[in-house]
Amino acid sequence: MPTKYFNRDLSWLTFNERVLDEAANTQVPLVERIKFLSIYSSNLDEFYRVRMPVLRALKKVGEKNSNDIDADEQASILEQAGNMILGQQQKFGQILTTQLLPLLKAEKIHLLYNEALPANLEDKVTSYFLSEVLAFMQPVVLGTDTSFFPENNKLYFIVQLHEGDKEKLILLNIPSDELPRFFTVKADGGQFICFLDDIIRFNLNKLFKDAVVENCYSIKITRDAELDLKDEYAGELSDQLETQLKKRDLGLATRFLYQADIPLRILQLIIQHLDLQNATTVEGGRYHNLKDFFSFPVNDPALQYKPWPPINLGVPTTEPLTAVLAQKDMLVNTPYQSYETILRFFNEAANNPDVEEINVSLYRVASNSRIVNALISAAKNGKQVRVVVELKARFDEANNLKWAKKMKSAGVHIIYSVTALKVHAKIALVKTRKNDRVHYSGLLATGNFNEGTARFYTDHILLTTNPELLREVELLFIFLAKREKPSAANQIIFRHILVAQFNLQTRFLELIDREISNVKQGLPAGITIKMNNLEERVLIDKLYEASQAGVKISLIVRSICCLVPGVAGLSENITIKRIVDRYLEHGRVFIFNNNGDPDVFMGSADWMNRNVYHRIEVCFPVYDTAIKKQLMDMVDLQLNDNVQAVLIDGHLNQIRPGITGEQIQSQKEIYHLLNN
């Protein structure tokens, strides 16, 4: 019998393999296939930075983790993960070399990959090296007294050379953070693309003029991304975070990636001199950081996705947006629909003389955020602006810190969450006073208020003036301003919104119980949930209970999924689909049949341990009938996707459903649905 719960890390690795599969998908345009290689590579780097340290630590200490996995099982999981990654890396190389490179050549695009420079490119490449690359070369002799510390995920060469009869090993940086990774030349009626790595290799004799270069090997070191933030800290959280960010790229090495043909003697010397004894050693190819394929320098529209211009919602501009919302709620579905309405919401609030207060929670902010600029303008225009900035949003800490400082200097009241609790809720509230009456307008969303990611993350943003809903949002902002941890002493009774640490888990359990009760009475029952990750066992067990009672459950889970579907006597009434396509599936939608009168919720919360127990999350009901129908129609298209969806079975296999009738590619169909 299959296990009752899939391991979260092995499940995630199958998701990343699904991403890799898109690089092999012949229906995907060529340049987009190359970008899927980049996404796979970037995801894997993050896995080694974030999850591999956890797996190794659990194995080392020999203690049970939060899901009661002992050290022996943890060691087995670590071994399985390594084998899965090895197989995927081999698949990656096969897709690139046997499929994509020949297709590029057929388009007269020659990516020089594991091959010598053509003679007709040598002068141009050398000229580029001398004029642009040489300025960044910083060789370091590797030895027992080496104090140099290779940075996280930066590219380096180990250069083996001789000066007379003396061998030296040189650690040489590849400055891909300063220069483009690819150098392109038009020649012989086509385009030649050369890695920066190979430009340096070809010109090593010009850097080491008095030595004989014997060989050159590429390496990369990935370091632990965890920040050591103290829960009890007397100073500003921003000061503590800034100090820790400076140390992040100097964290413990978790992976040492090296070129496969490096001699064992030299490999052991590198491990010794760079203190890499505790890192996972991974044999790789000649090129690392292939996430740089995302900037692959080919701009032929015929080799890219056909554009889907964001749909204009046609919101009247003859009256304020709040007046439009007073008549009915609105839903913006990114990236299918234009983000302009969201920007307009903040811009109008910043300049409306009747607006007294603006409250918003920010988790990941665009690098040049127009929303933050609107909040700064609002503060300078005399509004009371309170912003909950989550400084602990992984890999966005520095950007969030930058914007927090800028807002604070403009008069915005900045609120940081307590160290042990992340605020992941996506909420905004505007309070207007007119004729001595207070009016509310607000946004509740499944994704960040970020106009950058809104171009490729599928999310849903509800714009509403519902006073009952928004008064509860106001209560939550008041609580967050106190910077307290939720406890029995400070609980708030929410009747509309679902808030993690307060009522979110309890309310979802009640909703599932109602479906169980209905099916036992012979009434219509069913549960449909779309989310990014599913791990939390109390909620999983409740879904198992519903399945055993006969409730049909349809899940769309993009990444981590610990629930095992299709097991007789446990989960035979549960199906799970995973969709990977041109946009990143990110929205969370929860639909409960409720005897034929569906209750629909959206929100920021996945069903992960971190979301349920360690974050402030907000899910919210959809009351507007038309919006509810639109959401259900979109989810229904995804449930019927037979092109980009795969089914997850009880052994964590990903199975193509097969096309027996009409092809349904849900993202394409959703775009058409919203465009009509």
CA distances from 371 to 324, 361, 368, 457, 476 (A): 20, 12, 9, 17, 21
Is 588 within 8 Å of 605 (Cβ atoms)? yes
Token pair, residue 455, equals 């171009």
Euclidean distance between CA atoms 636 and 640, whole angstroms: 6
Euclidean distance between CA atoms 58 and 525, whole angstroms: 41
CA distances from 468 to 18, 146, 436, 474, 495 (A): 42, 64, 19, 10, 9
Residue whose tokens read 């995920």 = 153
Is 190 within 8 Å of 109 (Cβ atoms)? yes
CA distances from 335 to 456, 458, 551, 667 (A): 6, 6, 33, 10
Euclidean distance between CA atoms 614 and 501, whole angstroms: 8
Total Cβ atoms within 10 A of residue 534: 24
DSSP string, 72-94: HHHHHHHHHHHHHHHHHHHHHHH
Euclidean distance between CA atoms 426 and 462, whole angstroms: 10
The amino acid occupying position 623 is Y
Is 604 within 8 Å of 446 (Cβ atoms)? yes
Rounded to whole angstroms, the maximal C-alpha distance in the chain is 90
Three-state SS annotation for 412-471: CEEEECCCCCEECCCEEEEEEEECCEEEEEEEEECCCCCCCHHHCEEEEEEEECCHHHHH
Catalytic residues: 424
Q: Where are the alpha helices (DSSP H) in 208-263?
A: 237-248
The amino acid occupying position 105 is K
Please name which of 68, 182, 77 lies closest in space to residue 125, comparing C-alpha atoms: 182
Please name which of 392, 390, 473 lies closest in space to residue 431, comparing C-alpha atoms: 473
As a whole number of Å, the end-to-end CA separation of the chain is 47
The amino acid occupying position 470 is L
Residue whose tokens read 């879904």 = 543
Please, is 84 exposed, middle or buried when counting C-beta atoms within 10 Å of its C-beta (0-12, 13-18, 19+)?
A: middle
Which strands sit side by side in the sheet containing 155-163, from one edge to the other? 140-141, 166-174, 155-163, 212-223, 253-259, 280-284
Contacts of 362 (CB under 8 A, 6+ apart): 371, 372, 387, 388, 389, 390, 400, 403, 448, 449
DSSP state of 560: -
Asked whether the bond before 139 is cis by omega within 30 degrees of 0, the reply is no
Is 100 within 8 Å of 32 (Cβ atoms)? no
DSSP state of 223: E
